[in-house]
A and B are shown apart, each in its own frame.
Chain A
Amino acid sequence: MSARIEAQGVSKRFGPVVALDAFSLEVAPGEIFGLIGPNGAGKTTFIRILTGYWLASEGDVRVDGVSVTRERFRVQARLGYACEQPKLYADHTVDAFLRFMGEVRGLGGARLRAAVGLSVERMGLEPVRRRRIGVLSKGFRQRVALAQALLHDPALLVVDEPTVGLDPAQQIELRRIIAGFRGTHTVLLCTHQLHEAEAICDRVALLDRGRLAALATADEIRVGGSLEALFLARVGREPAAGVVP
């Protein structure tokens, strides 16, 4: 099962600063949707509104027709979120942390054990299952973050910058895992890595200064040359330092 996302005129202001400006988009069920843009474009802001962490100043986001503003817990029950720079409890073991998140998600007993086992297997965490998160490499921590997001088999998976800081092999592996969700889960992938979005996303939205600058399908991107070309054309400036083309 997978979810549909509908964002209608979502704006977010912090005093005089406009982080998002009338941003609208639709993500179809089962789609892997990429959200790209330079630093400060509003990607993480949108994700925080989608996940219910922040409130939109205007507009609303709906997941399968349920408003995040009014019924955020129902929405949160249907989504799994792996943040940028994984926020994990360093003093917990991988197993303890996953069990904790599973219980928070309402799982218990045999269901919890099965869910944790499946997540561990999916993310290849078996070798580090009994180790404390604080001593794990960045790659494994990213996997733990994804594993906790998948515990309750959510309809919607929101992943923010999953491959930042990973070595190429780890990046390829993680992309393969995410691509494997196509059709069964809806994935909203937020990334700086243009080739990553190009490789695995069905559609990509380009955010710039809080606004939707471009929206393209994978085919349109291939026809247009590359996502980099699209980026440069729409954003109108060189990619910012740190953005890997």
Chain B
Amino acid sequence: MEQVTMPKLGLTMTEGTVSQWKASPGDRVKKDEVILVVATDKLTYEVVSPIDGAVLEILVNEGETVPVGTVMAVLGVEGEKAAPLQEEKQGPGPAPEEPAERPPVLTPPSGGAGAKVDLPEAGARGKESAASPLARKWARSFGLDPASIEGSGPGGRVVKENVMKASARFRATPLARKIAREAGIPVQEISGTGPMGRTTAGDVKAYLASPPGEKVRVSPAAARLAKDLRVPLEMIKVPGRIMKENVLRAAGAAKGSEAGERRVPLTQMRKVIADRMSFSASTIPSVFFNIEADFTGFMAFRKALNEELEGNGVKVSFNDILMKICARALVEMPMANASYDPERNEYTLHEDINIGIAVAVEGGLLVPNVKKVQEKTLTEIAGESLELVNKARRGELLLEEMQGGTFTITNLGMFGIHDFIPIINPPEACILAVNAVTERPVYRDGQVIVRPMSMIGLSADHRILDGADAARFLARVRELVEKPWMTLIPEHRTDKWSVD
């Protein structure tokens, strides 16, 4: 028998939501066949079957959020009976408001393999009555909906203890409250790790230090309702857990009541973009430069490489060569590969060159980055960046693939843009703008000839790089664009342009 557990899809992932089951109990599955889709706040991920066999048992309902490591399904030989699960508690720390152990919600239908079963929305209905009077009284005093609480009493009845556990989000220490108040954050929004699930000062500090884009906490009933009403949960902004009534309100708001107007709540992604761009524009004194480059050599270089690589399944793109060029220029000028730290009056020079590529996706923009570009060959860069772009479009990026960038390239050439001023992706020092390459007349050696020309733009953080530094960096990028083969040999000139 094989257990399918909630995978850890990123360094910081602690729990995930089962967004869709592709298989039902009793279904036959092949190895590597997708059996369910898991979603986190940022990504969705398809979980495949580790074996050829059958689904014996499904233990987590669609819409449920469970800790990493939780067993979600049991697979085995067709007809085999699922043995009782012995390691129910193997997830690192059970979610505070949910009992770690619960009976399986589905068993294979006796009809045998292949029978399709509609997943019942277990436990969501009829809860209203299944709460003890005392539990109800306490739930009322905390403003909790007993239906949103998992019951552990006889027959899944919600008892006082369950309510007290669920009320953990109301517990916060005075110091935690004070820090949260000063930071302007409702303390209930921060999940607690202290005794009794209490939110402590440490939790608040960790929350404040964590990157934006916190996970969406949602009650099972609300998750079901949101699915029925097609309300994206990330649109709902409430302190703490999203409850049924929040979903109903959001559904009403989404319809839009005022004539000719529609209010669009920010998705989590838009919020992150908004916050980061506002932060960048309002705090970084950026300086912008443009330089015109002749892409004749660049185009020939790329063509020659791809002819060579023909049939190998790898193709070097325009951006890949630019990445290689930037990595070279950044090695020579570490200041352009730095990040500014106003708190400590210093900036960090990063040894690794992790170049982000801005990828437009539905509803926003993601910037995954290729790590350690300075150590990679062009074909490695090509393979990795293609994978990152595809993953970004499919929403499968891992958190660490979006973190740790030191430099960004943004290319709008495909739209025919020939000049734009990009906004720096903080805390990076620079962002390179790439434009459309167009055939243009240029004056060379006494005559006008036509050459593939393009502008290359650079926005730089003036707190780290002065105008001359940034200009020198951009000039070096142009030089390498015009003679990309120079990336293959070490810097050999004595009149070194770079500053230390």
Binding partners A and B:
no
Q: Which residues of A contact B (CB under 8 A)?
A: none
Q: Which residues of B contact A (CB under 8 A)?
A: none
